[in-house]
Amino acid sequence: MLHNKSYLKRGRGGKVFKAVKEHYLRDDIWCSVECCTICSHTEPILSSIPAKTKLVTKPHYIIPDTNVFMNQIDIIEHPALQNVIILQTVYEELRHLSLSVYNRLKKMINDPNRKFYVFANEHHRDTFIERIKEESPNDRNDRAIRAAVKWYATHVKQIADKGKSLEIVLLTDDAENIQRAKQDGLLAYSVREYVEGMIDTPELVDMLGNVRISDNKDKKIVYEEHLSASQITNGIKNQTLYQGTLNISMHNYLEGSIQNGDIQITILGRKNLNRAIQGDIVAVQLFPKSEWLRAPTAVIVEEEEEKNLAEELQENCKPKEQSEEADSDLFEAPQPTGKVVGIIKKNWRPYCGFINKQSVKGSSTSTLSENVSVYPIDRRIPRINIRTRQAQNLMGQRILVAIDSWHKDSIFPMGHFVKALGAAGDKLTETEVLLLEHDVPHQEFAQQVLNCLPVEGDLWVVKDEHLQRRADLRHLNVCSIDPPGCTDIDDALHVRQLPNNNYEVGVHIADVTHFVKPNTPLDEEAALRGTTVYLINKRIDMLPGLLGTNLCSLKSKVDRLAFSCIWELSPEAEIVNVTFTKSIISSKESFTYEEAQARIDDQRLQDDLTKGLRVLNDLAKKLRARRMERGALTLASPEVRYKLDFDSQDPIDVEMKELRETNALVEEFMLLANISVAEKIYKKFAASSLLRRHPPPTAFKLDNLNKAISAFGLTLHYETSKALADSLDEAVLPEDPYFNKLLRILTTRCMMQATYFCSGTFSVHEYRHYGLASEIYTHFTSPIRRYSDVIVHRMLAASIYDDEVYGSELIDKKKIEQLCDVLNHRHRMAQMAARSSVELHTNLFFKGKTEQVEGYVTRVLKNGFVVLVQKYGIEGIVYSSDNSKTKLNTTASNSTSLIIYNSHDNSLDSITGDGKKISIKLFDKVIVQVSVDEDLVGGGAGGMRQKLKLELVKPVVPGLSVSNDTSTDNNEIIEENNYNNKKDKRENTNGGRKKKMKIENM
């Protein structure tokens, strides 16, 4: 049956015309109840005996309305809710309202255990309704929902006539809707009413979205009203307001900033942040110049006493101590400040956190519902008030909470409990926390993803049919070189001399796209994950293990499919030509860096493979020299590697990563392959190539660094990467060999991030990769663990084979651009998760230990300074100011005010009793005492929020330094002996080890 739906539409020129949309009504839409004999259905989803509750005493199916999904999705996600009917009306509304809620619901629908059925009520002859005159679309949809509920209620009564009974329950938090449904004789309840009737799952009550819990007894308005959407739009249009993504400082949760074009606006204090949360897109109003910032702000140590918060919020949040700073400005020009006047797009997500013990009032046996505050693990997120009956149980645990609302008369946002993650300090719990906090998808692969794998499983082998369109390179002396224990081998190499004395060099990359076809569930999952994530003790794969560590992995002594990039190079490593081909290879050896190096060095070995390694090494050196000549940078990061105990996976030792020539060998040819492939795909896909760029650094940050090293008579030039590379090479202090490395670390931090982009969205001169000094670059060499490389493989195949079939995924500029956004986000999160994992293991390592070690000052703040301890690759703040809690542990806490921030030299100065001046500034070598701060506001033991405590030992600053305790040195010697005994155990090569660390972020 065809049903015409006509409506008026305004055309481009303002002309009104009538549009007609065809709407089919069908008779074959079934109820999907298993025992129904009225409908003819093949695979019913809804169970014949759905659950009953204390409230609804008969077995029943649930039909929630749109707002229930929008506001209570955590409840809906609870496994106790089954046999749910999703009306098409609701499903479509959700898709428009919130893609994230829609996607979460989609997941539940795909889970057969949940028994969620989508009922196409808009196409059902008996449930479709026309919108009546004067009726708003909302009212029409509410009526459509009630009509469908009514149909279902009647229908299930017919199914269950013989003594049995089945009911339909409408879930809605709209009082009027409940009223009307009841008038129609339907069962309708609010979510709270319904959930309170589910007595077997009391935690559900805690998970109810909280719209209002006040933390502000006097109900004083504490925040300014946000501007309306139209006011914001106008303000941005006429440039009185600035739009940007709010970024809260890691060192100070009351300091945020937005970047709008070239200007960065700092937002200071709770009141000016005006309920905006990290990541929100906000509208900011600029303050008059007189209120701009002239010196760096102080760090906030821990959550301050919050009893006077309401008063604090009434004050004006101007940067403090402006006046006394006036004639010794640190900034060349004052930094713009402003306040948030509206939130354009919220970026709320579920947050991991812990309950503040002080906020729990009930007795230890209490199960009454009470208001408690939750401190998110992410220090940039404000504490969240929730209502819970499980406060006693949840203390000392990591929990997941969601924010529901933030009213202008409430100091903190309100939210609800989502789930408990486990005991604080437990390594598994904390690893789960860091994965959640960094938005790393880490569930097991779903069955529909696994269904895309070859049916032969690990018995899959290369067959003759694979030779089609592939070069058979199995006769070549191909080998791979990787870190020890590497099981996901992406790349392998070969070299042979040509009759003309030139060399043929091949880089062979796992042919992942042979197995991962576009638009399959496997492809979608890999695109969503974006990258494999390497933690200290764990690896979260982008592809299922069968592919990643077996069928795609270029293991030795088996035939594997590859995508090969083959150059003819002159003996001087000049490219004569390059070809690309899909291939079959058979790697002869899987070397570790160490093994390959040993082969090269052992002159007694004269076999072809070893000779090949020497040629490759020689060519790589020439390539590298040429790259350096062009101005490629050698950057640095304080990377260390933890050795884990084999059984417990606890860190037992730490070492600096050692780089051998063979690391550089592999790196050099991978860079070359990436560049050659970038050039090739750009020829075919000029507007939609997936490339990687690295913009030059901004002057501001490097200027600050320059100011600091001018004290040593040094300057960095950075007009070009060549100038920077040269001045870095020259910046050497003979008396301090570590200085140059430290300067490179700090220079690296001034760099912009390298990012993926779609060639059509930038102009050609912006393609440049500053760090690698290359005009064009992409990622091709690691398709097992990076999705960018999967797309690039498809583009390369389309570039070399005329008959290659491909779709919009390779030519749609918009799609590539969106994919790049996702990949950049995943990539950044993966790096941060890896860093958090190091931090977690560092804390485990220092648990119960105190050690005094050498470090360098890498940043001077108003009330403290940051120290990098190179031995452990850790960095932390030594606090010097009054509001620091650490000072209570120091020897002379009554004299701390002696340390003064000198903005002119960017140093912290102290005058000792005998009138001597001690100054702490950037690049100073200091000795600090490292321990783990166990005592945190309600945080309990361990975990990501736990902090390393750094205290100054030397230079001796009265009121700040702790005593030089030599007994720790003895401890160290004992550790040392221990370590020798454990040598065997330490050889554990964990799967978490990251490959080719050095070029990873290039």
CA–CA dist 356, 343 (Å, integer): 28
User: What does the DSSP 8-state code read for residue 943?
Assistant: S
40 vs 980 by CB, closer to Zn ion: 40
28 vs 456 by CB, closer to Zn ion: 28
Residue with tokens 């070029």: 999
Cβ contact 348:406 at 8 Å: no
Helical (H) or strand (E) element with 849: none
Distances (CA, A) of 364 to 242, 368, 425, 719: 50, 11, 22, 64
Q: Which stretch binds Zn ion (CB under 5 A): 25-33, 614-622, 642-650, 945-953?
A: 25-33
151 vs 460 by CB, closer to Zn ion: 151
117 vs 642 by CB, closer to Zn ion: 117
Give the DSSP letter string of 37-92: SSS--SS--B-SS----SSS-S-EEEEE-HHHHHH-HHHHHSTT--SEEEEHHHHH
Q: CB count, 10 Å around CB of 859? A: 19
Residue 38 CB, shortest distance to Zn ion, in Å, is 5
CA–CA dist 481, 609 (Å, integer): 12
Q: CB count, 10 Å around CB of 980? A: 8
38 vs 199 by CB, closer to Zn ion: 38
User: What does the DSSP 8-state code read for residue 645?
Assistant: P
37 vs 577 by CB, closer to Zn ion: 37
Calculate the CA 248 to chain-centre distance: 16
45 vs 108 by CB, closer to Zn ion: 45
Residue 244 CB, shortest distance to Zn ion, in Å, is 53
Cβ contact 392:365 at 8 Å: yes
Q: Which of 933, 805, 815 is nearest to 524 (CA)?
A: 815
Q: Angle, nearest 10°, between helix axes 137-159 and 175-183?
A: 40
- Report helix, strand or coil for 524: helix
159 vs 186 by CB, closer to Zn ion: 159
Site string for Zn ion, 28-57 (x = CB under 5 A): ---x----x-xx------------------
Calculate the CA 456 to chain-centre distance: 35
- Report helix, strand or coil for 864: strand
| Burial class of 565 by CB neighbour count within 10 A (0 to 12, 13 to 18, 19+) | buried
Q: Angle, nearest 10°, between helix axes 593-601 and 608-630?
A: 100
Structure tokens at 904: 């002119």
659 binds Zn ion (CB under 5 A): no
36 vs 273 by CB, closer to Zn ion: 36
CA-angle at 199, arms to 171 and 349, nearest 5°: 60
Residue 30 CB, shortest distance to Zn ion, in Å, is 5
CA–CA dist 315, 324 (Å, integer): 20
Sign of CA dihedral 28, 29, 34, 39: negative
Residue 142 CB, shortest distance to Zn ion, in Å, is 24
Structure tokens at 951: 């205290």
36 vs 178 by CB, closer to Zn ion: 36
31 vs 773 by CB, closer to Zn ion: 31
31 vs 918 by CB, closer to Zn ion: 31
**CB-based burial, 864-884: b 16+ in 10 Å, e otherwise:** bbbbbbbbbbbbbbbbbbeeb
The type of residue at 260 is N
Residue 32 CB, shortest distance to Zn ion, in Å, is 7
Sign of CA dihedral 332, 338, 343, 344: negative
Number of residues that bind Zn ion (CB under 5 A): 4
- The residues, ordered by sequence, that sit 6+ positions from 546 with a Cβ below 8 Å of its Cβ are 453, 454, 457, 458
Residue 158 CB, shortest distance to Zn ion, in Å, is 8
CA–CA dist 89, 104 (Å, integer): 17
Residue 47 CB, shortest distance to Zn ion, in Å, is 13
Residue 344 CB, shortest distance to Zn ion, in Å, is 46
Sign of CA dihedral 453, 454, 457, 458: negative
39 vs 423 by CB, closer to Zn ion: 39
Structure tokens at 974: 């004992």
Q: Which stretch binds Zn ion (CB under 5 A): 27-35, 214-222, 329-337, 930-938?
A: 27-35
End-to-end CA distance of the chain: 59
Residue 29 CB, shortest distance to Zn ion, in Å, is 10
CA–CA dist 515, 522 (Å, integer): 9
Residue 118 CB, shortest distance to Zn ion, in Å, is 15
83 vs 649 by CB, closer to Zn ion: 83
Distances (CA, A) of 579 to 317, 566, 676, 683: 63, 5, 9, 14
Distances (CA, A) of 193 to 169, 204, 548: 12, 11, 49
Residue 86 CB, shortest distance to Zn ion, in Å, is 16
| Burial class of 313 by CB neighbour count within 10 A (0 to 12, 13 to 18, 19+) | middle
169 vs 452 by CB, closer to Zn ion: 169
85 vs 344 by CB, closer to Zn ion: 85
40 vs 981 by CB, closer to Zn ion: 40
Residues in region 533-592 near Zn ion by CB under 5 A: none
Residues in region 355-394 near Zn ion by CB under 5 A: none
Residue 57 CB, shortest distance to Zn ion, in Å, is 23
Residue 85 CB, shortest distance to Zn ion, in Å, is 12
Residues in region 99-138 near Zn ion by CB under 5 A: none
Q: CB count, 10 Å around CB of 515? A: 21
Residue 64 CB, shortest distance to Zn ion, in Å, is 20
Residue 82 CB, shortest distance to Zn ion, in Å, is 18
Residues in region 418-457 near Zn ion by CB under 5 A: none
Residue 115 CB, shortest distance to Zn ion, in Å, is 15
28 vs 458 by CB, closer to Zn ion: 28
Residue 60 CB, shortest distance to Zn ion, in Å, is 15
- Report helix, strand or coil for 172: coil
Residue 151 CB, shortest distance to Zn ion, in Å, is 10
User: What does the DSSP 8-state code read for residue 107?
Assistant: H
Binding site for Zn ion (CB under 5 A): 31, 36, 38-39
